[in-house]
Amino acid sequence: MIVATAGHIDHGKTLLVRTLTGVDTDRLPEEKKRGMSIDLGFAYKPMASGKVMGFVDVPGHERFVRNMLAGVSGIDYALLVIAADDGPMPQTEEHLAILDLLGIDQGVVALTKIDRVDEARIKDVTEQIEFLLMETGLEGSEILPVSAVTGDGIDELKEHLAIASELIGDRDVHGNFRLAVDRAFTLQGAGLIVTGSVFAGAVNVGDQLTLTPGGQSVRVRGIHAQNEEAEAGAAGQRCALNITGQNLTKDDVHRGGWLVADAIHDPVPRFDARLRVLPSEAKSLKHWTPVHVHLGAAEIPGRVAVLEDKNIPPGESALVQIVLDRRTGALRGDGFILRDQSATRTVAGGRVLDPHGPARGRAKPERLAAIAAMEERTAADALRKILDQQALGVDLPAFIVSWNLNDDEQAALWDAVEIVRAGENLETGYAPAHWTNIRDGITAALRAWHENAPEKPGPSADGLRRETGVRMPTKRFTPIIETLVADGTIINRGASYFLPGFEPQLSSKDEALWKRVKPILEDGHTKPPVVHDIAERIKSPAKAVESFLVRCARLGLVYRVAKNRFLLPDAVLELGEIAEALGRESKEQGFGAADFRDRSGVGRNLAIEILEYFDHAGLTWRSGNERKVLKPAAEVFGDTPG
Ligand SMILES: Nc1nc2c(ncn2[C@@H]2O[C@H](COP(=O)(O)OP(=O)(O)OP(=O)(O)O)[C@@H](O)[C@H]2O)c(=O)[nH]1
Ligand SMILES: [Mg+2]
């Protein structure tokens, strides 16, 4: 369990942590000199259960709220410290609001410095605090009077924390590993050390991880979990990882970065979220307000795009898109806080819903529905809703990263949700009803195409997309037809798509012409006459014969070897096999055009035309005057349709 302190300056947070753990977390000379905390402090306390409790001690000064924010995300339990003499003060309220906005709803209040006040005052302040906690996540939390000076109430507080840690237990370790970096330093003899709270998943010595947003690859050489040397670390612990990586230096790692499993390295420039504006704000939060965004241990300037209305009144919540000045790691469910542009006031906070919100059309009704679906409690419920909404399919890799689902969790998701997954990597998901619609649309479009043009091959992928009339980008359409080809619903040949069983046919006019031209081509075999000569022999215009032969080529009846020369498939295969034999015989050296001319007997000009056609078709590879054969001729020309 990780406990973080919270509360106004000088109310006794650091001394209380020292009393509980024996560790003075104010280590900076500046902190000692000024008698106040500036940065985060860390302390650990082994407990009777054998577990170790981690403490994050935060500074109370209003100028260091940003440091406080880096410390409290990713904790399990709040220790709100309020001095009995002062009672609740501005940062008591601000820290409490931050804990509430981050969704931290487990904790205890330590009413400190009771040695300085009388019983009546304790009763009075306790009532004030009960009132203060109302309608926050910490409503009803225990309020324990203590004195770090006399030791009064300290045993009760220790007892309380021990029980809380048993009740909370080990956090559910789900998802891929994710640690919010709050410190990075080099240690003599060990190298680079990175510390932080583990938000999700587990890590083992030897694991490969990625630094977000930079993308550097690192390896874990050693782990300290809750201050003890360990083989592994997991969610709910503070960890120090000794990492190495190519050319990796301390400058590559900063507070605010993330150390994550490769699968969830996905820095985003914006995210969609639900945002709540603090009731204490004087004015509504306007669209495009500049703010400081605190998420994990990061602080990034950005702006708020209000999606549903023009602004959000104090105390209200609404869907927003947070647009960041630079990329950061953010996943669904992450809590975040917004402070005003001059970083003097906490204004609002909320939860990330969709880290893959689009820059354009972010406030369209269908987007609002998609964001709202991400508010569902489980990935399965959210996916069901989104599949239902999105007739044109859902980007599954993005969804999986958003929810940080590991392999087992993904498998469970596919079991739980009725879904058709399409594409080479099953990357697009469809609700079964939507899938059936799209499939039927495609087969209907193909059927209409074949009926209209029985002599033509089917359309290309892009043509098919247009014929089907679905409004989706090629990138989304391609996986669909890949899947339909794989399951045999449609057939792909060359660049064309067909319905099964469809064979393109010549029109009756072309069929009659073919009966006259085919014998001429057969006669010529590897040396057929050019188009012009064929036209003369059958007494037809050359243009008409050429376009007729182009139609035949589309059906695979002939190959167009050169602009004015068409050969029958068996002649092309025979010539291809001659090239293949020459390639085999000439080995490394390759063969020349003259070799091919001599062996095939087709004459110099035609030999060159044919060889250039072979280069183009991928049978041969030309370098200088020599050619090599890349694959068997039968593989390139053996299986011709029609
Ligand atoms: N009498 C009395 N003094 C206390 C008690 N707890 C803390 N103090 C004193 O209050 C002063 C502030 O205590 P800290 O623990 O540094 O307060 P803090 O909340 O950590 O302050 P920041 O980190 O600056 O926000 C110190 O002089 C402490 O000795 C207590 O229970 N009784
Ligand atoms: Mg302190």
pLDDT, one tens digit per residue, over 489-541 is: 998 876 789 899 887 778 889 999 999 999 999 999 999 999 999 999 999 99
Ligand 1: which atom is nearest the Cα of residue 17?
15
Phi/psi of residue 587, each to 5°? Answer: 50, -130
Closest ligand to residue 9's CA: 1
Could you give the CA distance from residue 551 to residue 487 in angstroms, rounded to a whole number? 30
pLDDT at 474: 84
Residues with CB under 6 A from ligand 1: 9-15, 36-37, 59-61, 81, 112-113, 115-116, 147-149
pLDDT at 244: 96
Could you give the CA distance from residue 383 to residue 374 in angstroms, rounded to a whole number? 8
Q: List, in sequence order, every residue forming a beta bridge with 556; answer none if it has no partner.
A: none
pLDDT at 49: 86
pLDDT at 638: 66
Residue 128: half-sphere exposure toward Cβ, Cα within 13 Å: 17
Pairing of strands 420-422, 346-354: unpaired
Ligand 1: which atom is nearest the Cα of residue 58?
23
Phi/psi of residue 615, each to 5°? Answer: -60, -45
pLDDT, one tens digit per residue, over 311-323 is: 999 999 999 999 9
Pairing of strands 191-200, 238-244: antiparallel
Ligand 1: which atom is nearest the Cα of residue 81?
19
Could you give the CA distance from residue 24 to residue 421 in angstroms, rounded to a whole number? 55
2 DSSP 8-state letter: E
pLDDT, one tens digit per residue, over 535-583 is: 999 999 999 999 999 988 877 789 999 999 999 999 999 999 999 999 9
CB contact at 8 A, 223 and 231: yes
pLDDT, one tens digit per residue, over 105-164 is: 999 999 999 999 999 999 999 999 999 999 999 999 999 999 999 999 999 999 999 999
pLDDT at 640: 45
pLDDT, one tens digit per residue, over 442-479 is: 999 999 999 988 777 889 888 999 999 888 888 889 88
Q: What residues does the ion ligand 2 have nearby, CB within 5 Å?
A: 13-14, 37
Q: Ligand 1: which of 5, 9, 14, 16 to mutate, most ligand atoms within 8 Å of CB? A: 14
pLDDT at 642: 33
User: Cα(first)–Cα(last) distance of the chain, in Å?
Assistant: 71
Residue bearing the CA closest to ligand 1, atom 11: 10
Q: Which of 629, 631, 617 is nearest to 589 (CA)?
A: 629
Could you give the CA distance from residue 421 to residue 435 in angstroms, rounded to a whole number? 9
Phi/psi of residue 274, each to 5°? Answer: -100, 130
Place of tokens 């060359």: 494
Closest ligand to residue 19's CA: 1
CB contact at 8 A, 273 and 293: no
640 vs 163, which has greater pLDDT? 163
CA–CA distance from 2 to each of 55, 337, 425, 502 (Å)?
6, 20, 39, 67
552 vs 100, which has greater pLDDT? 100
Query: Which tokens sit at 536?
Result: 């003369």
Could you give the CA distance from residue 504 to residue 555 in angstroms, rounded to a whole number? 7
In sign, the C-alpha dihedral spanning 575, 581, 582, 587 is: positive
Q: List, in sequence order, every residue forming a beta bridge with 350; answer none if it has no partner.
A: 275, 336
pLDDT, the chain, mean: 94
